[in-house]
Structure 1
Amino acid sequence: MDYLSGGSLYDFYQRNKPLNINTIRFLAAEMICGLKSLHSMGYIHRDLKLENVLLDSRGHAKIADFGLAAHMINGKAKGCVGTRGYVAPEVLCRDKYDYTVDYYSLGVILFRMATGLKLEQEPTPESKAQIHSMSPELRDFILKLVCDNPEERMRFVCSIKDHPFLGPIDWEALENRKLKPPYIMVSTFCLILPPVSGGPRGGGLDHDRVGLGWQENWKKTGVPCQPRPTPW
């Protein structure tokens, strides 16, 4: 894989949140192109999130980290995997599912980029006001991606591309990397890592225990354990 000096979309988001609508539209379109290519080969990413989208020096996005990707059998996959807050409800229920779980995760990413908020967090009056200040096209686009019922979720690339929110995108230019990003990348990306100690008492991180609580809850209950507020 090529070295992508722009860092992750998460870092870009943290420096600039909330992102403006033109930036969100461009990044959404590039991620859709990446998912289209992946799905056409019969794979589901299953862990699409801000941290797993990387930017090159010009600001073009590429989906990364396929460690949890699965090949679909008869158009379906199974397995309770992913990152809390980005996972579609049918994955949490341990049902068989299809590639639309990636579009659900995409909707979560767009929501975060537009509001600076997590979709699953309890809404406040301030966050509700911010949500309702979104453009109607973006709001409708996100709603159709994060629909809890996978049968009602946007699932066909043609219908996704034809949505009014993505109307300004020149898809041919985008797919040929000829569409210029509506932002300028910082020329130097610097990641400063905290010191790592040898044991838990010194602040070391036990990676095997991170997120163990909610993963165990999935196994015990077999039902979604994410909060399901309705911030809209």
Structure 2
Amino acid sequence: MYQLTSALAYCHQKKVIHRDMKPENVLISANGDLKIADFGWSVHEPSSKRSTVCGTPDYLPPEMISDREHDSKVDNWSLGVMLYEFLVGKPTFEAEVSY
């Protein structure tokens, strides 16, 4: 997880918001290093705030779901959701549906 937080911190220092952090977008190199992949939804954030809702629903932060402006903190939320999923072994907001 340290490698991912460091990589995200680097992106944020360069004013890049990934906006689609999820396990499928993390690659493992031959020597075990983690790499962030798929920057398809990423943006350069010189203005700092965005309002586009994008990414994978299971990892969307509250501000995107409620259609509010967001910044690089959305990546931190998604990383937290990923950490929960890694530790617990199941998605965070999964609910059983009964009809």
Q: Deviations over 1:23-48 (max 9, x none)?
A: xxxxx100011101111111100000
Structure 1: tracts of 5 or more residues without a match = 1-27, 124-232
Per-residue deviation, 1:72: 1.4
1:64 aligned to 2:37?
A: yes
Does the CA contact (< 8 Å) of 1:55 and 1:62 recur in 2? yes
Per-residue deviation, 1:58: 1.4
CA RMSD of superposed structures (Å): 1.2
Hey, what's the Cα distance between the residues in 2 that align with 1:115 and 1:105?
15
1:52 aligned to 2:19?
A: no
Structure 2: tracts of 5 or more residues without a match = none
Alignment of 1:1-232 (within 5 A): 28-122=1-95
**Aligned residues between the structures:** 96
**Aligned residue number for residue 165 of structure 1:** none
- Whichever of the two has the greater Rg, that structure is 1
* Residue identity (%): 35
Q: Deviations over 1:156-189 (max 9, x none)?
A: xxxxxxxxxxxxxxxxxxxxxxxxxxxxxxxxxx
**Aligned residue number for residue 160 of structure 1:** none
Structure 1 runs of 4+ with >2 Å offset:
none
Q: Which has the higher strand share?
A: 2
SS at match of 1:111: helix
Hey, what's the Cα distance between the residues in 2 that align with 1:30 and 1:83?
22
User: What is the one-letter code of the residue matched to 2:12?
Assistant: H
Does the CA contact (< 8 Å) of 1:44 and 1:98 recur in 2? yes
Per-residue deviation, 1:65: 0.4
Hey, what's the Cα distance between the residues in 1 that align with 2:58 and 2:47?
27
